[in-house]
Structure 1
Amino acid sequence: MKSTPAPLDGVVVLETPLFHDERGYFRELHHAQKFSAAGLEMTFVQDNLSRSRRGVVRGLHYQIEQPQGKLVTALTGTIFDVAVDLRRSSPTFGQWFGVELSESNGRSIYIPPGFAHGFYVLSDTADVLYKCTALYAPQFERTVLWNDLALGITWPLGDRPTIVSGKDQAGAPLAQAETFR
């Protein structure tokens, strides 16, 4: 496993090899000892799976209490995955990092607690696995507006229409969002 720190403290891009043969491929998504050796020690307590079609934007989600760390992997398809630092005490508060995750590139991203997370689907469909370090708590869920100009996220939308849920369209701009200390 190769781990590459992102410019936002705590965010790490992970690359695990795909072992191909005549049957298909094998990929190890999480290995506690290898993660520990890379300085990533966490316990996952919930796995979530979403399927989305081309043009879907999901996010930018976070939990203000019971914040979740997330290991995000595109099991099928391709997504542009984004983390936004919501820790006011961080020198990178309000900054974002994005990376393409796909079935074929062997990348995952670990996003620690204190960040908002979202993605945009580039392929016809994408199945995305999120391993979470805290349980989902809907009463603490918050959404930052995915296209807030203050964030300046460069989403690779092209001329494709975007599909965004009503909840995500109603997200708070960063200036009004509840954030972490």
Structure 2
Amino acid sequence: MELIETPLKDCWLIKNTIIGDERGYFLESFNHRKFSNLTGWEGQFVQDNQSASGYGVVRGLHFQRGEFAQAKLVRVLLGKVLDVAVDLRSDSPSYGMSFSVELDESNEYQLFVPRGFAHGFSVLTEKAVFFYKCDNYYNKASESGIHPFDPTLNIQWKIDPATAILSAKDKEAQSWQQYLAEL
């Protein structure tokens, strides 16, 4: 397991060690002791989630507020996505900044997204299966989001906004300016 720093404070890209031979491969996708030693993060993951989506789907930018905020460790089991994290922590040196990385079934990278971030992804292949661990349980009353195509954030999703497939909730999500006005 190798830790790669991103421009966002406390948000890390993790490169897994893959052991392969004629039978296929093996990798340890998570080891709390190794992860904690590399990152200093002492949290515990309590919930695993998985989604399957087709090309052009954009999910996000999602986050949970207050005591229900979640840290996530995300990876792709099948296909390819552009994964995006936005730092929402007003006291952070990377506040308001975003980071994106392609995650796919062959590079076996994972992205650690700490609490206080918005997160989303776009599907770049015919199908993608996305998997993530959370350190807090989902709470519907605390969920929120920022519109993924907000012009202020200017995230390049590698999907044409005119043909992107968004949920009704994401289509109606607040703008970055509306989010700032709520603070």
**What TM bracket, shorter-length normalisation?**
over 0.9
- TM-score, with length taken from structure 2: 0.93
The 5 A counterparts of 1:5-154 are 5-39=5-39, 40-65=41-66, 66-154=68-156
Counterpart CA distance in 1 for 2:36 and 2:77 is: 23
**Residue type of the alignment partner of 1:22:** E
Counterpart CA distance in 2 for 1:45 and 1:178 is: 30
**Residue type of the alignment partner of 2:54:** R
**Residue type of the alignment partner of 2:63:** Y
**Residue type of the alignment partner of 1:83:** A
1:114/1:159 CA distance change after superposition, 3 Å: closer
If each structure's helix is expressed as a fraction of its own residues, which one has the higher value? 2
Query: What corresponds to 2:178 in structure 1?
Result: 176
Counterpart CA distance in 1 for 2:30 and 2:182 is: 27
Q: Is the 8 A contact 1:55 1:160 kept in 2?
A: no
Which stretch has the larger CA shift, 3-12 or 158-167? Answer: 158-167
Q: Is the 8 A contact 1:94 1:174 kept in 2?
A: no
**Residue type of the alignment partner of 2:52:** R
Q: SS at 1:51's partner residue?
A: strand
How far apart are residue 180 of structure 1 and its match?
9.9
Counterpart CA distance in 1 for 2:88 and 2:45 is: 21
Q: Is the 8 A contact 1:2 1:14 kept in 2?
A: yes
Q: SS at 2:89's partner residue?
A: coil
Q: Is the 8 A contact 1:87 1:114 kept in 2?
A: yes
Residue 162 (structure 1) aligned with residue 164 (structure 2): yes
Q: SS at 2:138's partner residue?
A: coil
Counterpart CA distance in 1 for 2:92 and 2:176 is: 15
1:83/1:180 CA distance change after superposition, 3 Å: farther
Superimposed CA distance per residue, residues 135-172 of structure 1 (whole angstroms, 9 cap, x where no aligned partner): 00010000111000010111112598311111001111
Q: Is the 8 A contact 2:9 2:93 kept in 1?
A: no
1:113/1:179 CA distance change after superposition, 3 Å: farther
RMSD (CA atoms): 1.9
Percent identity of paired positions between Structure 1 and Structure 2? 42
- TM-score, with length taken from structure 1: 0.94
